[in-house]
Amino acid sequence: MDQYDDYHGPDDYHRIEHAIEFLAQNFRNQPQLEDVAASVHLSKYHFLRLFKRWAGVTPTQFLHYLTVEYAKERLSANQSIFATAFDAGLSGPSRLHDLFVTFEAMTPGEHKRRGAGLEIAYGFHPTPFGACLLATTPRGICALRFAVPADREQTLMQLQAEWPGAQFVHRPAAGEPLVHRLFHRAHGQATPPFHLLLKGTNFQIQVWQALLAIPFGALASYQAVAAHITAPTAARAVGRAIAQNPIAYLIPCHRVITKVGAAHRYRWGTVKKQAMIGWEASRLHTGPLTRNVIPSESEESQAFVPDSLSLCSAE
């Protein structure tokens, strides 16, 4: 087993998200680990164990990846990496960590038909970031979006409104192997490419293609994305296109932040964006997770809250 095989119970992520939100609202008071654990109705010991099972690192280590300083450092370090990856991605499949992602865009004629004659198989699946709605067609994945249980019906209705002419079929089995490959595969394991079917304007497609070039665990600014699609003055338009990203995580819009190192608005919530950034950074810097999730005394007693969180200065 490896870092992706340790399944997280359905409540694990929600507790993690609530804990990050608690820190965002109370970091100026320098809350202790006991305070954060109490906010999700757990003891300090059980919260620390849950967090290590989810992230692979302690909360203190994880929160380092959410600081403004870390975000700025990654933006600076990743400028040349993003440029190289983007240039390579223009002529071939883009890489998502160990994964290859290819895509095709619907033609203007197909766009006008609004999915007529297309069968879309969908299902809700557990992920490390809560449940997701995954929708697939014979030509590729057309949607991946996150949803809490109370909003599942609304999430599905929104997707159906985007493809009013398509025939929707509830078929979770079609998406299960895709979700497993994306979130629970063995590190370094060779897998077939993910193929995406995209519906959008030429500008949106161009922006989404650029996002595919941002490597796992890397961060890029809106201005950097705009520059790499040769539209350096179009950062706001790039932001709007990113906000309309139809395929979460596979098209990694969560890796785009402001040039000052702050997490910007995210379609599925800024806290979820921060969780994704920290989760990827933890794996990037620590490698495969160990099976030992029993917290040590030193981990329980170490200082907890860093001086500044990029989450707290999100725009």
* Mean pLDDT, rounded, for 4-29: 77
Q: Is the residue at 237 inside a domain? A: yes
Q: What is the CATH classification number for the domain harbouring 90?
A: 1.10.10.10
Q: Which is higher by pLDDT, 6 or 71?
A: 71
- Give how many domains the chain has, as a whole number: 2
312 catalytically annotated: no
Q: How confident is the model at residue 189 (pLDDT cuts 50, 70, 90)?
A: low
Residues 6+ apart with CB under 8 A from 221: 75, 256, 257, 258, 259
Residue 123 banded pLDDT, cuts 50, 70, 90: very high
- Residues 68 and 87 reside in one and the same domain: no
How confident is the model at residue 1, as a pLDDT? 36
Inform me whether the pLDDT recorded for 297 exceeds 70.
Answer: no
Helix axes 270-286, 44-55, angle to 10 degrees: 70
Q: Are 55 and 107 members of one domain?
A: no
| Phi-psi map region of 118: left, alpha, beta (phi>0 left; psi -120 to 50 alpha) | beta
Examine the domain organization and report whether 127 and 241 are in the same domain: yes
Give the global pTM. 0.86
Q: Return the pLDDT at 289.
A: 47
| Residue 253, token pair as written in the block | 């819009």
Domain boundaries, position 151: 79-213+220-257
Which pLDDT score is estimated for 17? 94
- For 236-285, how does the pLDDT look when each residue is reduced to its tens digit (9 = 90+)? 999 999 999 999 999 999 999 999 888 878 989 999 999 999 999 998 87
Q: Which of 132, 142, 253, 312 is flagged as catalytic?
A: 253
* Phi–psi pair at 125, nearest 5 degrees: -140, 145
Residues 180 and 293 in one domain: no
* Pairing status of strand 99-105 against strand 119-125: unpaired
On whether residue 207 sits in a domain, the answer given is yes
Spell out the residues 6+ positions from residue 232 whose beta carbon is closer than 8 angstroms to its own: 223, 226
Residues 197 and 242 in one domain: yes
Residue 266 lies in a domain: no
Domain-located, residue 268: no
> How would you class 135 by CB atoms within 10 Å of its CB: exposed for 0-12, middle for 13-18, buried for 19 or more?
buried
Comparing 59-63, 79-83, 84-88, the range with the smallest average pLDDT is 84-88
Q: How confident is the model at residue 159 (pLDDT cuts 50, 70, 90)?
A: very high
